[in-house]
């Protein structure tokens, strides 16, 4: 399975397509791209962006109570250390989103492991 698939070079991306590709990784704006576009590349990136957003929100919802428990019942230092790790992971997710946007604007499908396969199924 390839991590990136190039789009057919004979079809150029329009300015509207490029704007929608940026929207694809901006959380709920991906819904707009999914509805507004007719291009398969834009729709695929919208699906992957929505799945990424849902995954990040689910992980945050699971991690937040752990932080609160550590902060309350353990030393505050451990809670702060845990939260610093969460922020570093968040920075990694932001870099992943930027990489996906850049690859999308180049007309490629950059598949995020596991999430890209889910985007294919929808």
Query: Per residue of the chain (122 residues), what is the pLDDT tens digit?
Result: 445 555 454 468 888 889 999 999 998 989 888 888 888 899 999 999 999 999 999 988 988 887 777 777 766 677 778 778 888 999 999 999 999 999 999 988 888 888 888 888 88
Please report whether residue 3 resides in a domain.
no
Query: Using the 8-state DSSP alphabet, how is residue 109 labeled?
Result: E
Q: Which domain holds residue 85?
A: 14-121
Q: How many domains does the chain have?
A: 1
Please report whether residue 1 resides in a domain.
no
Indicate the pairing of strand 108-110 with strand 4-6. antiparallel
Which helix (H) or strand (E) segment is 5 a member of?
A: strand 4-6
Please report whether residue 9 resides in a domain.
no
Please report whether residue 6 resides in a domain.
no
Q: How far apart are the first and last CA of the chain?
A: 18
| CA dist., res. 94 & res. 46, Å (int) | 16
Using DSSP, state whether 28 is helix, strand or coil.
coil
In sequence order, what are the residues at sequence separation of 6 or more whose Cβ sits closer than 8 angstroms to the Cβ of residue 103?
4, 109, 110
Is residue 122 within 8 A of residue 48, CB to CB? The reply is: no
Please report whether residue 51 resides in a domain.
yes
Please report whether residue 50 resides in a domain.
yes
Please report whether residue 5 resides in a domain.
no
**What pLDDT score was predicted for residue 1?**
45
**What pLDDT score was predicted for residue 86?**
83
Q: What is this structure's pTM?
A: 0.79
β-pair partners for 6: 108
List the structure tokens of 61.
Answer: 């919802």
Please report whether residue 2 resides in a domain.
no
């Amino acid at each position: 399975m390839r991590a990136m698939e190039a789009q057919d070079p004979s079809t150029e991306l329009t300015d509207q397509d490029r704007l929608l590709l940026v929207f694809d990784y901006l959380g709920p704006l991906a819904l707009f791209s999914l509805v507004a576009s007719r291009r398969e590349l834009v729709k695929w990136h919208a699906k992957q962006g929505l799945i990424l957003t849902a995954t990040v929100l689910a992980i945050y919802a699971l991690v937040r109570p752990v932080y609160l428990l550590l902060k309350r019942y353990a030393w505050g230092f451990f809670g702060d250390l845990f939260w610093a790790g969460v922020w570093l992971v968040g920075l990694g997710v932001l870099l992943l989103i930027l990489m996906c946007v850049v690859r999308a604007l180049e007309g490629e499908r950059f598949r995020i492991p596991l999430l890209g396969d889910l985007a294919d199924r929808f």
